[in-house]
Amino acid sequence: MKRERRARILATLGPASSSLESIRALAEAGADVFRLNFSHGSHADHAERLQLIRRVEQELERPIGVLMDLQGPKLRVGRFADGKVTLKAGTSFRLDLSPEDGNETRVSLPHPEIFAALERGTELLLDDGKLRLRVESFGPDFAETVVIVGGVLSDRKGVNVPGVVLPISPLTAKDRADLAFGLSLGVDWVALSFVQRPEDIRETRELVGDRAWIMAKLEKPAAIDQLEPIVALADGIMVARGDLGVELPPQQVPVLQRRIVRAARAAGRPVVVATQMLESMISAPVPTRAEASDVATAVYDGADAVMLSAESASGQYPVEAVSIMHRIICEVEKDPAYREGLEASHSPAAANTPDAICCALRRVADLLEPAATVTYTTSGFSCLRASRERPKAPILALTPHVGTARRLSLVWGVHPVPFEEVHDVAEMVEHAGAAAVRQAFANPGDVVVVIAGIPFGHSGSTNLLHVLRIPA
């Protein structure tokens, strides 16, 4: 299961892709990491899927990462007496805490935290932005609004409040129960929805500890205002273009996507571009040309991974979606302009030993053109710093911890391999060459560049670079 491409594929599992055969087919087609969406499905469903992923992992002898995606707070209006109403532009409409069924003049909004954050002139978006209201007056339990963009509004439609930091935790009671269950299963990544501020990452970190890596989903404009602090605290970043595209004008989303990818790359955090990448393949066997270009753009920008949602979870062509995404990535990475773009967007290394070693790794790889680079890593730190440099040669990550290997399966250019502990440099060099040959990255006589931290087993101690010619 050696991957020739550097960018990774994150595929969501669901009703269309929950059997052993379908999960195996997705992995063979190119899926590197699987997403369990806790907005849907029962705990039993997710436990069964994770068990099947681990069976496929054993069959293919390649670490496969599992990301659990928490639902986060869902802000919704209440119900209407007739199931739906039609709001006309220019009319008044009241939102309040009353549990009574709504009508053409009012509806329940059972979220007092929204009223606490309002200002006069605040705009509210309903039903994924299809309807727009402007706040004229408000109190702790109501808001009087005027309809700016009208339309049909039915029961339990979502509410977005762009430009406002809501005083709520990203973790609901459901999320906390789901998180505890997912961690007990042994998930590798936790995707945190509704991130607004750095404190949201800290709150989640207290619950997760070192049992998984945390991926911040950037889907709120408020998070963009604190992008760098959030990136610094998270282990990975997801450009969640769904809600981001609701709360912001669509022309701003591509610009923000590139900004987020660059911020994550500069900090050495894996970054995923998600939502509607191959949307038409939910019901069609091939994507549109615009969708193919969308995937290619994310890869050209240097994203670590691109994600499939409904395309692989509930679509009619899940394996085909993964396969075409794989082929798009391969085609981009063969383009000389891809490499030129990575070099042009490269961030300077920090003035510390690990960054200096990994910067030297990239320069040595440019000059010697080794068959592979090898990192010895316990926590994954060395490998993340090496991947940040985007070296030309593939990165073979040798780690004594299978959990670290699974987490690294999402990272650009990394081929993770669970490996035994090493105790000295001579043993490390010998094992590095043997592993590169065994994993089909190198042949006897090839050059391999090795980085590690001494003493072994200490996270963040990358301080050694060794150039090895594998004995013939």
275: Cβ–Cβ under 8 A, 6 or more apart, which residues?
240, 241, 242, 245, 307, 309
Contacts for 261 with CB less than 8 Å, ≥ 6 apart = 239, 271, 273, 298, 301, 302, 303
Contact 380, 455 (CB under 8 A): no
The catalytically annotated residue of 24, 54, 74, 76 is: 76
Tokens 């928490």, residue?
Answer: 70
Q: Quick check: is 275 catalytic? A: yes
Ramachandran region, residue 344 (left: φ > 0; alpha: ψ -120 to 50; beta: rest):
alpha
DSSP string, 359-391: HHHHHHHHHH--SEEEEE-SSSHHHHHHHHT--
Q: What is the signed CA dihedral for 48, 53, 59, 62, rounded to 10 degrees? A: -160
CA distances for 436 relative to 215, 319, 380, 395, angstroms = 30, 30, 18, 10
Q: How far apart are CA 321 and CA 4, in angstroms?
A: 18
> Which residues have C-beta within 8 Å of that of residue 281, sequence separation ≥ 6?
287, 291, 311, 315, 317, 320, 321, 324
The DSSP letter of residue 65 is E
User: Which is the catalytic residue, given 3, 5, 8, 35?
Assistant: 35
Closest by alpha carbon to 320, among 296, 347, 286? 286
Residues 122, 145, 204, 275: which is the catalytic one? 275
Buried b (16+ CB within 10 A) or exposed e, 245-264: bbbbeeeebeebbbebbebb
Structure tokens at 411: 């990272």
Kind and range of the H or E run holding 154: strand 151-154
Residue 264's Cα: distance from chain center in Å? 11
Tell me which of 3, 5, 62, 217 is the catalytic residue: 217
Asked if 2 is an active-site residue, the reply is: no
d(CA 301, CA 333): 11
Single out the residue of 210, 191, 201 nearest to residue 379, CA to CA. 210
Query: Which residues have a catalytic role annotated?
Result: 35, 76, 217, 275
